[in-house]
Structure 1
Amino acid sequence: MTSMIFAGNTDQDTVVSAMLPKQVAALCVRINPVIWESFIALRFDILDCQDNQQKRVLLHGDGDIAAAVQLLSTEVNRLTTQNNQLATEVNRLTTQNNQLTTDVNRLTTQNNQLTNEVNELATVVFSGAVYVRWGRTTCPTTGTDLLYTGYAAGNYFNQEGAADYVCLTSEPIWGVYDDAAQPLSAKMFGTEYQFGQQSYVNGGARFFGKTLLDHDAPCAVCHTSRQATVMIPGRNQCYPGWTKEYSGYLVSGLSGISGHKSPTNYACLDADAEYEIGDHFSNDGKLMFLVEGMCGSFPCPPYVDHRELTCVVCSK
């Protein structure tokens, strides 16, 4: 059948009917709008006129509909199967995610425990520094704790052997021992102040405010919360930014005198040195003498020949 042109409506509400000139058998109908107002808008029905009655007509037969239904059923089944597969995969991934979440929580808890242990070790075990306060039984009031008090001790002054002053605890705990004297052994003796033998008036009272000659030297081991300590010989004040723990005078064993064979290190003796009441006996042992600076390779100034050297212990 050739193309035909039918008149449409001129508004959006009026229904317009058009009759085909004769009966037509067709699978489809093509409608091409020719004229429109503003934009194309079209709704239509095809009616069958029999016995003066109008009935809507399906353009496809039963076979076409059955085939379309079968195609749609197949697609629905495919999509249902795909959906079920996706649901199974979602369940698998959800289970895997839950397991990973459990693992993350476990590792987070373990990490928190390790972090707490590290922080505890950093603040308790590795925090602060320890130093010996020679000549005193207490620690300074600079945020320090007393670890223990004891006795300055070392090798006998006229014997070769160990050099260092040590702070021997006042509360010994014994292991296996033999109280018999051994013919060959290293020995430890208490330490005496010997400032009177250096021709100082009143056994060094001008330096320490009291006579210390032949008295025994105590000591205290102190812990400070600050990270580092240093003993600075040659001055009795700390450098800026450091905290003064205590100051005093540099002491050691005697130099250049025959009979004083024991080497010693240098120690900083507190300017307010103490001693025990009733210990004023010349038992010798390890000895402490004031240290003088000697010009030569030693720069003077700033130092002065034969002047007693001060010292200070600082922390930061």
Structure 2
Amino acid sequence: MNSAIYGAKYDSDADFFGTKNGDGLPCAVCRSSSDVTSVMIPARRTCYKSWRKQYNGYLATNRDGSYGSKDYICINEDPDSFATAEDHGLRAIFQSTVASCGSLACPPYINYRRLTCVVYITATMAVQMQIVLLVLTFNSANGIEKKLLLNDPNQMEREIQELRTLVTTLTSQVSAIQQSKGGAQFIRWGKSVCPDNDTELVYDGFAAGGYYSNKGAGVNYLCLPRDPLWGINYTGTIYSTIYGAEYDTSFFGTNNGDDLPCAVCRSRSGVTSMMLPGRNKCYKHWRMQYNGYLATSGDSFDSSKEYICINENADAMVGGGHDYNGALFYSVAASCTSLACPPYISGKRLTCAVCTK
């Protein structure tokens, strides 16, 4: 028995992406030589302040109802394509993604509008030191301002020494900044603010994902911003759909059907972030940003979802308790079949922690 991998193709009516239906999808793996954080923001076409755009386009994933859940990705606006051989229906496909009101907040989202996306990185922090010596002045003991004569050797020596000390101090500070510029990015699920732990908020918004019973729905949960930006108003009928995410249990301290907030955060000092399943404390030398409980979709649902870490004592969105379903969250229990027990215990809910370093 083996697993197979297939080429990916555009699958859209009226050539939504500007390519032919069935064309192959090219890709490029890129690395910034100066920046440390990269973020894909769904439902935005432009960057937030102090970030630099790499490209923008439209959110895409697999077709609703198809077998095989896929990640949501950002397909470049005006993308390229390449011709492929006949695939007899065996292929990985991408379709544009539309909003579905109900569990998703509308407004600001609009029912069945295509969601845009943007990929961007932190702007390089340039540190410059400029020392401009125009006229050195000093106040005499009697308060009368006098111009410093540049041919005064003793005074010049003192001023030069002070400048040397200042340059040494600034050089040390610049070196420290360059060595600890941070950049680790993580999503805090269940909260709309970032931890008070040397982090900054990129944006906050609404947790979202594919419908819980849809085959082919997006496998990853997204944090949709509160201020979406729209692209073309396209009315075709072939698309994937994204829904708001709800707690489908009272386990997390919220009501069944409450909507889930989220916050995209950036560490100012850590360059690596990880979600640690099965522990609510970080290992030595790692800094904990938050802890909580492991969560994903239900076992019996057709739509597979990733595992995420929902904050302990999670919050709910105001006015979001209508229980429309959509993308759903459940706690995760250990099963002592192929899982080693001990150390794990059958039926015990798994904790989690998000750590940076």
Using the size of structure 1 for normalisation, the TM-score is 0.55
Map 1:117-266; keep pairs closer than 5 Å: 123=178, 127-161=182-216, 162-178=218-234, 180=235, 182-195=236-249, 203-204=250-251, 208=252, 210-225=253-268, 226-255=270-299, 257=300, 260-266=301-307
Q: Which blocks of at least 5 consecutive residues in structure 1 are unaligned?
A: 1-115, 196-202
The structure where helix makes up a greater share of residues is 1
Is the CA contact (8 Å cut-off) linking 2:275 and 2:353 kept in structure 1?
Answer: yes
CA-CA distance at 1:212 after TM superposition: 2.8
CA-CA distance at 1:278 after TM superposition: 2.2
Call closer, same or farther: CA 1:283–1:229 in 2, change over 3 Å: same
C-alpha distance in 2 between matches for 1:183 and 1:263: 24
CA-CA distance at 1:233 after TM superposition: 0.1
Q: For 1:314, give the aligned amino acid.
A: C
The one of 274, 283, 290 equivalent to 2:331 is: 290
C-alpha distance in 1 between matches for 2:247 and 2:179: 37
Call closer, same or farther: CA 1:127–1:277 in 2, change over 3 Å: closer
Aligned to 1:30: none
C-alpha distance in 1 between matches for 2:345 and 2:318: 36
C-alpha distance in 2 between matches for 1:155 and 1:296: 29
Q: For 1:164, give the aligned amino acid.
A: N
The one of 298, 309, 313 equivalent to 2:350 is: 309
CA-CA distance at 1:173 after TM superposition: 1.2
Map 1:89-100; keep pairs closer than 5 Å: none
Deviations 1:216-249 (A, max 9, x none): 0110000002111110000100011111100000
Call closer, same or farther: CA 1:188–1:140 in 2, change over 3 Å: same
Q: For 1:187, give the aligned amino acid.
A: T
Q: For 1:213, give the aligned amino acid.
A: N
Q: Which blocks of at least 5 consecutive residues in structure 2 are unaligned?
A: 1-170
CA-CA distance at 1:272 after TM superposition: 1.9
Call closer, same or farther: CA 1:263–1:125 in 2, change over 3 Å: farther
| Percent identity over paired residues | 36
C-alpha distance in 2 between matches for 1:147 and 1:254: 30
Q: For 1:261, give the aligned amino acid.
A: D
3-state SS of the aligned residue for 1:188?
A: strand
Is the CA contact (8 Å cut-off) linking 2:206 and 2:225 kept in structure 1?
Answer: yes
CA-CA distance at 1:277 after TM superposition: 2.4
Q: Which contiguous aligned blocks of 4+ residues in structure 1 show a shift greater than 6 angstroms?
A: none
Deviations 1:169-193 (A, max 9, x none): 1111112222x4x432111100010
CA-CA distance at 1:279 after TM superposition: 1.5
C-alpha distance in 2 between matches for 1:145 and 1:212: 29
C-alpha distance in 1 between matches for 2:319 and 2:179: 40
Is the CA contact (8 Å cut-off) linking 2:213 and 2:303 kept in structure 1?
Answer: yes
Is the CA contact (8 Å cut-off) linking 2:254 and 2:315 kept in structure 1?
Answer: no
Deviations 1:254-284 (A, max 9, x none): 11x2xx2111000000012111222111111
Q: For 1:147, give the aligned amino acid.
A: V
Aligned to 1:9: none
The one of 340, 346, 352 equivalent to 1:299 is: 340
Aligned to 1:110: none
C-alpha distance in 2 between matches for 1:187 and 1:126: 38
Using the size of structure 2 for normalisation, the TM-score is 0.49
Q: How many residues align?
A: 182
C-alpha distance in 2 between matches for 1:183 and 1:283: 23
Is the CA contact (8 Å cut-off) linking 2:247 and 2:254 kept in structure 1?
Answer: no
C-alpha distance in 1 between matches for 2:178 and 2:214: 44
